[in-house]
Structure 1
């Protein structure tokens, strides 16, 4: 339901992507002039809460399973800024043992963080990021990169070095660097230390 369509403006403190508990309570307290509007809002809130709870339950079970069966690799991944519990569990669930990749080039090709190339005869043209990708994993690394540039000075410096270019291209470069760091941490079995290049 579009609140603005009904003339309801969201307060500035809640106008962001995160639905805080205060925002949810604010929505619960909204009252429309007509009962169907109230019922639709209540229905949407019940649906949202159900989906949110399902997501939390599945995430908790996934993290619990990963800690039980892949604890060492899980903790190594968690040491990398930007990679939280859900992303670490997702990486291990989707990739399994990262040690099977001989190089970051092979891993980047699998995930889809490598350049796409069009070649015909003598003509070679770079087409940006490859269309062939494991879309879920690529999105994990892209999202983790946004967190990494906020918390890791090395990643911040790398991001700033490329500023002025297309933001999407820069974050893909950061994601590729994060992917390289992920493989290095797993293969060396050494937790990442913030500020130390690996």
Structure 2
């Protein structure tokens, strides 16, 4: 167990050493739940996120798009497509798991709102975690595309000239 921890730490230091000058690598780490290894996974599997003109294209690439299973005239419920990159989907799943365990951020708020109807339902928990992972992918795409860092509770301008906190 100790050797795995040492290997993980060595990988983190190597990733930070090689990619510390990469703006996308540093920007991804501003997301809650994304550390050096997950940021490395996202960049390695996605390539340049700027090549996706819309976040829906990126979500489809990740496999977070919804798809209906149809046969003849019958149409079942919509489910996760899962036709995209499984390793990338797994990276966002891990990041979402860490983010919802953090004290306060918008991802945890989305998770709590999603599970509010029945907190003991395991299926609803899985769906909520998937929704948070998809939101993280959308936010990561926006961060890279717009070249801004993540701000959890951003401020917006009031018409009178002051600032106020946006709702989480």
TM bucket, shorter chain: 0.7 to 0.9
Instruction: Give, in whole Å, the separation in 1 of the partners of 2:126 and 2:101.
Output: 16
Higher helix share: 1
Aligned-pair CA distance for 1:118: 1.2
Q: 5+ residue gaps in structure 1?
A: 1-18, 25-48
Judging changes above 3 Å, is the alpha-carbon distance between structure 1 residues 160 and 54 closer, same or farther for their aligned structure 2 residues? closer
Q: 2:50 maps to which residue?
A: 99
Matched, 1:189 2:140: no
2:35 alignment partner, one of 80, 84, 89: 84
User: Is the 2:15–2:36 contact (alpha carbons within 8 Å) kept by the matching residues of 1?
Assistant: no
Pick the structure with greater CA Rg. 1
TM-score w.r.t. the length of structure 1 is 0.66
Q: 1:148 maps to which residue?
A: 99
Q: How many residues align?
A: 149
Could you list the per-position Cα deviations for residues 118-166 of structure 1 after superposition, in whole angstroms to 9, with x for gaps in the alignment? 1233333235222323111111101101222233432222111111251
> What secondary structure, in the 3-state scheme, does the structure 1 residue paired with 2:77 have?
strand
User: Is the 1:115–1:126 contact (alpha carbons within 8 Å) kept by the matching residues of 2?
Assistant: no
TM-score w.r.t. the length of structure 2 is 0.77
Q: 5+ residue gaps in structure 2?
A: 155-165
**RMSD (Å) for aligned C-alpha atoms:** 2.3
Could you list the per-position Cα deviations for residues 28-79 of structure 1 after superposition, in whole angstroms to 9, with x for gaps in the alignment? xxxxxxxxxxxxxxxxxxxxx2x554444344323322224xx211111111
Higher strand share: 2
User: Which residues in structure 2 correspond to 1:5-154 (within 5 Å)?
Assistant: 49=3, 52-68=5-21, 71-151=22-102, 152-154=104-106
